[in-house]
Chains A and B, each alone.
Chain A
Amino acid sequence: MADEPLVLGIETSCDETGVGIVRGTTLLADAVASSVNDHARYGGVVPEIASRAHLEAMIPTIRRALDTAGVKATDLDGIAVTAGPGLAGALLVGVSAAKAYAWALDKPLYGVNHLASHICVDQLEHGRLPEPTMALLVSGGHSSLLLSTDITSDVRPLGATIDDAAGEAFDKVARVLGLGFPGGPVVDRMAREGDGSAIAFPRGLSSASDPAYDFSFSGLKTAVARWVEARRRAGEEVPVADVAASFQEAVTDVLTRKAVRACKDSGVDHLMIGGGVAANSRLREMAQQRCDKAGIQLRVPRPGLCTDNGAMVAALGSEMVWRGRSASAFDLSADSSMPVTEVHVPGAPDGHGDVHAHAHEALRS
């Protein structure tokens, strides 16, 4: 088995068609085609539009990644793909493409978990993950605190949002403020002009009796909407920058406080932050300050690797090959609600028809 496995990763769980190529923990290519502009006027991702865009972009994006990496498809040691969680129809496009390439090229196929990929992508920036790793994943689809002792086999959820994901709250607040979609980047930009302490928005699930690691952003979102409406009804101008900054402050305050607490409680001395919201400048800044104060080492990939991409899937796939994990079978399903504890989908132990699963099982025993 190669010391530095060369793996192509495909990600189609939402609106980005991502194809990445990784050798070991080195990023060789990260091609992304996004349909985000097609969704903008709907104020959210429209599943059928995303699926159609994935089908159109799939092969060109794979070709572009191979060209950029300067490798041939036949050189690959494996093909990884997001098997879930995500939009069912969107996932299915990527999973079907990955199977076809893996089968046609006689390469092992690895159906992997999207959330574990978000964590593993940090290896491309900061080298192999320490074990165990504490991870805070925040995006439009997820907000979770995860503890992993081995990113290819053991990811444990410590807490998650009980209502909206953090990124969803950004989208909704942006809509309330008339800033468009997606909300994350535009709220971040507006907030830089505002005062984060101007308005005291609520911090969800932050009292002593609340679950320590769970999040809630629904109340915050409603509070922002009420505050803005009250101003509008009174005929007053809405201080958009202050609202954006104060909202953002409330989100990042809760996220970083709970993440640091989880590290301390579990005796983990470093924290990884991933997912689209990890691109938020205030979150990165506050996390750095609080980690420094607590003596925790912070690892956050550059913004381009935090959002959904194929590189993160390739990173986890490469790790799967490196650690000799079983390949997936060709009847691999796209699983829209794949649990975070299912890091990858190994083929049935008897392999039924999958030679690669057999080969890897043999190597491990």
Chain B
Amino acid sequence: MLLLAFDTATPAVTAAVHDGAAVLAEAFQVDARRHGELLLPTVERVLREAGVDKHDLTGIAVGVGPGPYTGLRVGLVTAAALGDALGVPVHGVCTLDAIAHQARREGLTGPFTVATDARRKEVYWAAYDAEGRRTEGPSVDRPAELAPPERSIGAGALLYDLPAASGPEHVSAGALADFAATELAAGRQLLPNAPLYLRRPDAQVPAGYKAVLPT
């Protein structure tokens, strides 16, 4: 297995190469407004650092959110195009699952909730049990509407001061790749390469035709 993984659903632009056993190379840069500019050069760099030829990749794993849409789409369309051009499958991973996987790898135990910043005073969140299985979510809500978790992880947890909040703040592609490799090795299906928007598009229906004559 030789996986290229990346995620643009959080303020981080992150990419990694994973050989099924370990992360060979990883890049992580926080720049919420430049996903579009940074992603492909970052992908190019991790492959070079890993000493992997793109034609030897066996699959792509991409974070499908939830996350702010404009950045999120950069990752998804890049994954779809690379998958098509290189002839390899694209596996979707819920970005919150990857953050949970990373937190557990960093030694966090017990049930916890992962929350990222959904802007507009809301968080994207999901709850995980002691074994790391997702039990609720992903959803988008105001922080006050969440059942108070024992522990909380992620930028949304820190921003809104959820109980026992801690990092990792954003997703790292190394963790995402490791999660995908583990699931694939266990024969479990990952997600389709489709965005988890969780919200309907903002679209104001213009108020009826406005008169221009003075009334």
- Listed in ascending order, the chain A residues whose CB lies under 8 Å from chain B are 41-44, 46, 48-49, 51-52, 54-55, 58-59, 62-63, 73, 88-89, 92-93, 95-97, 99-101, 103-105, 175-176, 222, 225-226, 229-230, 233, 330-334, 353
Contact = CB atoms under 8 A, between A and B. Distances in A.
A333 B206 contact: no
B201 A92 contact: no
11 contacts: A42-B204, A58-B77, A89-B73, A92-B73, A97-B78, A99-B40, A101-B85, A103-B43, A103-B44, A222-B212, A226-B213
A200 to B, nearest CB: 19
Given A89-B70, A92-B70, A96-B73, A104 B81 contact: yes
A86 to B, nearest CB: 14
B49 interface: no
A96 B39 contact: yes
B84 interface: yes
Contact of B206 (A42, A59, A100, A233): A42
Contacts of A96: 36, 39-40, 73-74, 77-78, 81
A222 B211 CA distance: 10
Interface string B61-81: 000000001100110111011
B84 to A, nearest CB: 5
Contacts of B205: 41-43
For chain B, give the interface size range: 20 to 34
Given A42-B206, A43-B206, A103-B40, A97 B77 contact: yes
A48 B78 CA distance: 18
Contacts of A222: 212
Interface in B152-207: 195, 197, 201-206
B60 to A, nearest CB: 10
Lowest 3 A-B CB distances belong to which pairs? A100-B81, A104-B85, A48-B201
B213 A230 contact: yes
A42 B73 CA distance: 23
A46 B203 CA distance: 6
> A93, A175, A332, A333 — which one has the most chain B CB atoms within 10 A of its CB?
A93
B84 A63 contact: yes
Contacts of B82: 100, 103-104
B52 to A, nearest CB: 14
Contacts of B77: 54-55, 58, 93, 96-97, 100
> A43, A55, A105 — which one has the most chain B CB atoms within 10 A of its CB?
A55
Nearest to B70: A89
B197 A52 contact: yes
B36 A51 contact: no
Contacts, number: 108
A170 to B, nearest CB: 15
A41 B203 CA distance: 10
Contacts of A97: 77-78, 80-81
A104 B70 contact: no
B54 interface: yes
Contact of A333 (B36, B73, B204): B36
A63 B87 CA distance: 13
Contacts of A334: 36
Contacts of A63: 84
B73 A48 contact: no
A55 B71 CA distance: 12
A93 B73 contact: yes
Given A89-B73, A95-B36, A353 B213 contact: no
Contacts of B36: 92, 95-96, 333-334
Contact of A229 (B40, B74, B86, B213): B213
> A52, A96, A103 — which one has the most chain B CB atoms within 10 A of its CB?
A96
A175 B201 contact: no
Nearest to B8: A96
A59 B84 contact: yes
Given A55-B73, A96-B36, A97-B77, A104 B86 contact: yes
Nearest to A331: B37
B107 interface: no
A239 B101 CA distance: 67
Contacts of A43: 205-206
A152 B44 CA distance: 29
B73 A51 contact: yes
A55 B203 contact: no
B38 interface: yes
Contact of B44 (A41, A226, A353): A353
Nearest to B48: A353
A71 to B, nearest CB: 14
A333 B78 contact: no
B211 to A, nearest CB: 6
Contacts of B203: 42, 46, 48-49
Contacts of A44: 206
Contacts of A233: 213
Contacts of A58: 77, 80-81
A332 B205 CA distance: 34
A175 B209 CA distance: 7
